[in-house]
Chains A and B, each alone.
Chain A
Amino acid sequence: MKKDAMTPLERAAALAAGGEVDRLPVNPNIANGVARIYGCKISEFNTDPKAQAEAQVAAYRKFGYDSVRIFTDLFPWAEAMGAEVVKPDDDTADLARPAVGDVKDIDRLVPADPYKGGRLAVQLEAMDRLVDRVGGEVPCSGSLAGPFTNAFFLYGVNEALRLFKKNPDAMRKLCRVSLETCKAYAAATIAKGLGVTISEPMSSCTVVSPATFREYSLPCLKELVDFIKGKGKVPVIHICGDTTEIWDDIADLGVGGFSVDNVVDLKKCCRAIGGRTKMLGNVDPSTVMYAGTPADVRRKTLECILAAYDSPKGYVVMSGCSLPVESPQENVAAMMDAVRDVGYPVKPGKVEGMLRELGAGD
């Protein structure tokens, strides 16, 4: 794998100032796969802040991508509010039992205190170590499950889906208390000196209608984004699945960037809202990054660059979602090298030439 001439922070600063850089920023979004690179079990992240931070550092040192984040799965916030989570020995955690099983118990939910033990406290400690180790060269962030998404985990996904019809007020209450937890965690993250990224998969048009999104999720997101901005950071948001119908809503939130799923037409998305927010995306994490070859990764990375390199507010090459844990490391390296080979400023003719060299593929 090739070397870079600048650190990610130098690159980000130069790009922001409209200056010269060596290449586009890139984030393969390795997620819990960092455990494989560092050589620990994924379950160690649940209790060991050192393992969590050092695994991020190890993966960053290996590949040199442009941002590192503390994030293991979508469930620590619901867990801190009373949900139960399955924690496999060496795989990503999952929701076992929601925090409440009955509508009448919703009023008993209280926002989580992230400093008060559990996995949230482990994550906050990991943030200290991460900033200490690499904060001087690469942007560090803490990720959180957005208010709407976390609301589903408080009540159980299937049951919460029924509330829109049966008890909309209950769903609103779940979103509110969820929002308070998000704010507390975001404040703690910012106090540690990190940026914030929001994962909001349940807001996707693959799950709920744009109308449902606007009624329940958007007001909470707006409040959260404003809260974070009030503390001096501009969050990046990721929504899985199709989001075409809600692009304008997301741009109107005034987020620092929008990370899109691979099902989204990246070029169309850039044209629609690229003038209002930075675009990140969207190499397919499963078909290409997990199941593909390095040549597939190179081709798809180049195609994404062609689609989005001139997006007015900037573009970061990224996977469409967190990578499967067993994604081959050579595929991550292939994404990095494709971006390095393209260089900066991006010359579309050159990228097209690189694509032709690769041939049509299979």
Chain B
Amino acid sequence: MQWETVIGLEVHAQLATNSKIFSGASTAFGSEPNTQACPIDLGMPGVLPVLNQGAVEMAVRFGLAIDADIAGQSVFARKNYFYPDLPKGYQISQYELPVIGQGQLVIELDDGATKTVGITRAHLEEDAGKSLHEDFHGMTGVDLNRAGTPLLEIVSEPDMRSPREAVAYAKKLRTVVRYLGICDGNMQEGSLRVDVNVSVRPAGQAAFGTRAEIKNVNSFRFLEKAIEFEVERQREIIEDGGTVEQETRLYDPDRGETRSMRTKEEANDYRYFPDPDLLPLEVDTSFIERVRAGLPELPDDKKARFVSDYGLPAYDAGVLTAARELADYYEAVVTAAGGEAKLAANWVMSELGGVLNERGLDITESPVAAEDLGGLIRRIEDQTISGKIAKEVFAAMVAGEGSADAIIEARGLKQITDTSAIEAMIDEVLANNPGQVEQYRNGKTKVLGWFVGQVMKASRGKANPDQVNQLLRDRLDG
């Protein structure tokens, strides 16, 4: 039987505010335990929440970026359950009326085609703290620094049909939130957390199969693997005549499998009700327009502009706009290089990309400043150096030896374009290799390449290769 996979994602994005969603405590990552938990985050008696405007603006930014309905009025509700890292015994979230309604995201598939994935809703809520299970005499330690950090929970429609599509969606979502500056997108630190709903159904069947929700998928690779495993698991169950249970499963990256999180506890009953400590959130047109005015250029728009303005192939434009910092870097290189857009793209993607990759660096940590890389490209363009010499200069730049001009000067790498100087080298090479000259003149013109190599070698790479080529032909044919 042919099976179809149905996938939907619930992504929790930690919003990059300075302070928490309902308190004035800091949201900085990595501080000493409980040093960023104020009485409101600790749920102490009598304290009250007041909503952070920054969190609302970021939610609206996201809403505008996915072309969503933004609710004029939305409501905060309490989700009641007991857990040591949930100080109040309830999480303030949005339930029936979320701030962001229906929207969509366009993703690019492996074959270059695009697909629109629906986003059901996105709502604001507070994060919980963390339980540390290292040994405290057999006890668990609770750190509430993270409690109250604003989260935007982004729920997709069950629109994805393969693990690759799910990964493409998650990657695109990450790109968008990072462009918007609302989330750093760090999956390892948990700034971006992905839960995935997976089900299978016979191809052609309209009704969805029973889904499992998989948690703890903290990289794109694990996302793909977790879905692949889960699809296989469900298919086997059904093919063996069993039924898939609706449940929450945990991905175990060490074993590459998902396992049930089922406990002896009775089914959760969250007893949602509107939080009486908070009033309905109103987002009016002027608020929305103010946020809209501050929106950056979004990845799809930037990519289109890179194709039309810089004449880049769609692939290059896609790579260079995958992160806003990379796109900014690239554009700075183009400016410094005096408009050599395609050459700049090649250098950023292959030479610089290789170095960053090798050293595990982010574009913001590039050892070569965009202006300096642009300066190097300018020297290739004005023929001060050849492309080959440029690689040597670039390596020196990476090693911290200074700007392209300084390195070219210090190492005497300036290209030789003086015709008489090149001719003198050609004459010497021809005089030393009469046999090859003979071959050429007998019609074996392939040796021209060999001669070019010899002349370049004699110039220690500095002669202009085009000139060498032309002058050699003139001499041999003349």
Partners in one complex: no
Residues of B within 8 A of A (CB): none
